[in-house]
Structure 1
Amino acid sequence: MKYVFVIVGVGGTGSLLARDIPKLILHQEHRIVLVDGDRVEEKNMVRQSYQEHDINENKAIALARKINAFYGNRCGVIDKYVTKDEILLMLRKQYPTFLPVLIGCVDNDKTREILEHTFHQLDRCVYIDSANSEYEGNVYVVAKEDGQRAGHLRSEVYALDKDIHPTEKSCEAQAAAGNTQYMVTNLKMAMTIIEHVSSILHGEIKEGVTNVRRFEEVHY
């Protein structure tokens, strides 16, 4: 089985996750695609996988360059905020023989809606959705094989916010929208997803919800 891991949002959690997934798939046929329309800022040095020389560059491009330099040419890029069918078209065109693993590390529910839409359109897919506040978060895992599902989408458990897509926000609004997060929380969220990815690579999908709190992690 060949997997393509599509990481949407490479900020606090997503950049740490993208940094470490290549170690799990070294010398294997699996691939990674990073998706983000944001640019690296100086403030990102605190809790994201970027350095000063990345400032003002697109986050997905900057991070993919590092991955490909260290681990070989296994990481692709969509260097913008995706709209409804862009991920689906990319998967069908570039990765038709791979099983998609969608990993959402985004901070807005409008993009989550796009990811859930993409999941609905695919016959086979694993969708891992991460969300966190300053000190806690959760990860939803749902899988589909030939139309048969296991697990629940986030929107099936509670109503998503009626926010707007990042492309509709002004630069000032995007800067003001950044929620305060704790570096350790992002590390714990990334490690929780890494654990799910490792499980998938070993042939087991742990559908359900993993709650991550300070000094605590519970999956059910």
Structure 2
Amino acid sequence: MANNYTRYKFYVIGVGGTGSLLARDLPKLLLGTSHKMILVDGDTVESKNIERQGYQSQDVGDNKALALSRKINSLYPIECEFDDKYCTYESLFALIQDDKGYVPVIIGCVDNDATRMILEKVFKKLDDVIYIDSANSEYEGNIYITTKKNGIQQCNLRSQCYKFDLDKHPLDVSCQEQAAKGNVQFLVTNAKMAVSILEHCNALIMYQLKEGVQLVNRFETVFYD
């Protein structure tokens, strides 16, 4: 998928349970490279997020993408960009078009299929792109790794394997509904998912990326290509 001159820009979409933990360590892979990263999320940090996400009490009330990028930029000599709005097709496609010198790596860490539909739509629009899509419940999860080079797709997208739920995009969910969702996912599962995604990012940088589906179960990991 890559050559020695390939520069990647990692778009972490959703920095909640999995995305925030991934975002803490992803900068370490980018040290000394020409790769870049950006965090995209319209959510605000709440006190309940501290239990299983990568935030501290001083972040409460701040936008999640802003809070994390601020920490990363203060800790590492890289530039971590942020977009403090919920991802839409238009906004993500515009961000990618603004950085045409980089191959986009879209990392989906979202909890709704409405946003996954947006990410897949952007993937289909681009000729060269890597899409790493994660999803998990309390105890288990899976990661779809799909790539496209010169318009040729390798491996299936999630929607090509099963039908998406007709759930709501975050922009269509009221504040009351968001608050009612509660804290249902376990920190351990989110951490396992984040480490698994990080491993795929490292493989990409090392020119060893493997397309397919990774199942992340309790006490085991299985990979299918």
TM-score normalised per structure 1: 0.98
Q: In structure 2, what is the equivalent of residue 141 of structure 1?
A: 145
Task: Map Cα deviations across residues 111-167 of structure 1 (whole Å, 9 max, x no partner).
Answer: 000000010111100000000000000000000000111111000000000011111
Q: In structure 1, what is the equivalent of residue 49 of structure 2?
A: 44
Task: Map Cα deviations across residues 190-210 of structure 1 (whole Å, 9 max, x no partner).
Answer: 000011001000012211000
For the residues of structure 2 that align with 1:77 and 1:67, how far apart are their CA atoms?
11
Shift of 1:178: 4.0
Q: In structure 2, what is the equivalent of residue 187 of structure 1?
A: 191
Q: In structure 2, what is the equivalent of residue 151 of structure 1?
A: 155
Q: In structure 2, what is the equivalent of residue 30 of structure 1?
A: 35
For the residues of structure 1 that align with 2:209 and 2:147, how far apart are their CA atoms?
8
For the residues of structure 1 that align with 2:214 and 2:140, how far apart are their CA atoms?
11
Q: How does 1:24-103 map to 2 (within 5 A)?
A: 24-93=29-98, 95-103=99-107
For the residues of structure 1 that align with 2:179 and 2:223, how far apart are their CA atoms?
33
- The RMSD of aligned alpha carbons is 0.9
Residue aligned with 2:110, SS? coil
| AA at the equivalent of 2:37 | I
Contact residue 48 and residue 183 of structure 2 kept, 8 A: no
Q: In structure 1, what is the equivalent of residue 177 of structure 2?
A: 173
Q: In structure 1, what is the equivalent of residue 3 of structure 2?
A: none
Runs of 4+ in 1 over 6 A off after TM superposition: none
Residue aligned with 1:191, SS? helix
Residue aligned with 1:85, SS? helix
Shift of 1:85: 1.8
Residue aligned with 1:161, SS? coil
| AA at the equivalent of 1:123 | D
Aligned-residue sequence identity (percent) comes to 53
Gaps of 5+ in 1: none
Out of 80-89 and 55-64, give the one that drifted further.
80-89
Q: How does 1:191-206 map to 2 (within 5 A)?
A: 191-206=195-210
Shift of 1:177: 2.5
Contact residue 143 and residue 205 of structure 1 kept, 8 A: no
For the residues of structure 1 that align with 2:107 and 2:222, how far apart are their CA atoms?
19
Shift of 1:179: 5.7
Contact residue 119 and residue 127 of structure 1 kept, 8 A: yes
Task: Map Cα deviations across residues 13-33 of structure 1 (whole Å, 9 max, x no partner).
Answer: 000000001001102111101
Contact residue 6 and residue 102 of structure 1 kept, 8 A: yes
For the residues of structure 2 that align with 1:83 and 1:24, how far apart are their CA atoms?
27
Q: In structure 2, what is the equivalent of residue 212 of structure 1?
A: 216
Q: In structure 1, what is the equivalent of residue 17 of structure 2?
A: 12
Shift of 1:72: 2.4
Gaps of 5+ in 2: 1-5
For the residues of structure 1 that align with 2:156 and 2:170, how far apart are their CA atoms?
25
For the residues of structure 2 that align with 1:208 and 1:177, how far apart are their CA atoms?
31
| AA at the equivalent of 1:41 | E
